[in-house]
Amino acid sequence: MRIAIFSAKSYERTLLDELNASHQHDLVYFDTLLELGTASLAAGFPAVSVFVNDPVDGKVLSRLAEGGTKLVATRSTGFNHIDLEAAKKHGIAVVRVTNYSPNSVAEFAVGLILVLNRKIHRAYNRTREGNFELDGLMGFDLVGRTVAVIGTGKIGTIFARIMAGFGCEVIGFDVHRSSEFERIGGRYVDAEDIEKADVVSLHCPLTPETYHIVSARTLSRMKRGALLINTSRGGLIDTEAAIEALKSGQLGGMAIDVYEQEAGLFFKDLSSTVIPDDVIQRLVSFPNVIVTGHQAFFTREALGTILETTLASVSDFAAGRPLANQITI
């Protein structure tokens, strides 16, 4: 099947070409995002593949339908960038990658806690400048601390297991309880118990219900000086409110792999340009903030599974087989 692959990075192309040997699809790569201005490139492609910042809204889907597209395959777990109602209206099936190494994201979230708490990012820069001072680098022992997990699904539960291994008390919030989370020692609590947490880590999807789940009010109810980690979706945090909480010291530090306005910034080298986004510029100016560019998923294992699952979904679609990873509403 002809597949138009948007937001295609060089590391994906090489691997996709290798994996495609057993699928024999006709792969055409586009550097650009799929958006209204580029959707005409997909004309004549029955399958289109996108990534997390391609805005696959109603207008884009209408354009895809006109061009004969029948399948959109997102190379991600999250699908908040796709208008599922519009896809259904246009008879376009949508598939995602439900299960690719959730360890990759969970392990990255743990890494962010360690770096942020022990100020390893600052020590790295200091020693390169010949500064071996310890002033300002003090952290806290994780053992015995309380870690809150918001969203105890696949990633949240693995993250909880690792933190339990550090000797932390792990508490969780979720609209659906997971027996696995409780089996590894996690304990479900009420929303007000967030005040007990020394570290809060977000692992729920971005939905209308979870949009700005970390608001000014949530931040004011957290333990003073707690750390906030977000490897899920930027829209979960009211970033302006987080900046105010960082300025007042209510929030002790924040590490984010995702950012609400990341589209247009992330996955690009903008080091030779003036970045017009004052919010991200303010954030990166804080010594107690770490920003990474949506890389939590980026391990060899996870990328291989993402790309193989995407090609396999298209093969299933082409053969008229059931789509195991279809998103239905």
Q: Is residue 75 at the binding interface for ligand NAD, with CB under 6 A as the rule?
A: no
- Of 50, 75, 233, 242, the residue at the interface with ligand NAD (CB under 6 A) is 233
Question: Shortest Cβ distance from residue 328 to ligand NAD (Å)?
Answer: 15
Q: Is residue 152 at the binding interface for ligand NAD, with CB under 6 A as the rule?
A: yes
Q: How far apart are CA 255 and CA 247, in angstroms?
A: 15
Q: How far apart are CA 194 and CA 172, in angstroms?
A: 9
Q: Is residue 53 at the binding interface for ligand NAD, with CB under 6 A as the rule?
A: no
Question: Shortest Cβ distance from residue 194 to ligand NAD (Å)?
Answer: 12
Q: Is residue 148 at the binding interface for ligand NAD, with CB under 6 A as the rule?
A: no
Give 161 or 203: the residue with its C-beta nearer to ligand NAD: 203
Give 161 or 294: the residue with its C-beta nearer to ligand NAD: 294
3-state SS string for 106-148: HHHHHHHHHHHHHCHHHHHHHHHCCCCCCCCCCCCCCCCCEEE
Integer angstrom CA distances of residue 301 from 103, 127, 154, 189, 297: 10, 32, 16, 34, 9
Give 19 or 229: the residue with its C-beta nearer to ligand NAD: 229
Give 227 or 258: the residue with its C-beta nearer to ligand NAD: 258
Per the annotation, the verdict on 233 as an active-site residue is: yes
Per the annotation, the verdict on 212 as an active-site residue is: no
Binding residues with ligand NAD: total (CB under 6 A):
30
Burial class, 148, CB count within 10 angstroms (exposed 0-12 / middle 13-18 / buried 19+): buried
Do 311 and 23 touch, CB atoms closer than 8 A? yes
Per the annotation, the verdict on 262 as an active-site residue is: yes
Give 108 or 317: the residue with its C-beta nearer to ligand NAD: 108
Question: Shortest Cβ distance from residue 44 to ligand NAD (Å)?
Answer: 31
Mapping DSSP to helix (H, G, I), strand (E, B) and coil, where does residue 150 land?
strand
Q: Is residue 16 at the binding interface for ligand NAD, with CB under 6 A as the rule?
A: no
Do 49 and 4 touch, CB atoms closer than 8 A? yes
Q: Is residue 81 at the binding interface for ligand NAD, with CB under 6 A as the rule?
A: no
Q: Where in the sequence numbering do the catalytic residues fall?
A: 233, 262, 294
Q: Which residues bind ligand NAD (CB under 6 A)?
A: 77-78, 102, 105, 150-156, 173-176, 203-207, 209-210, 231-233, 257-258, 294, 296-297
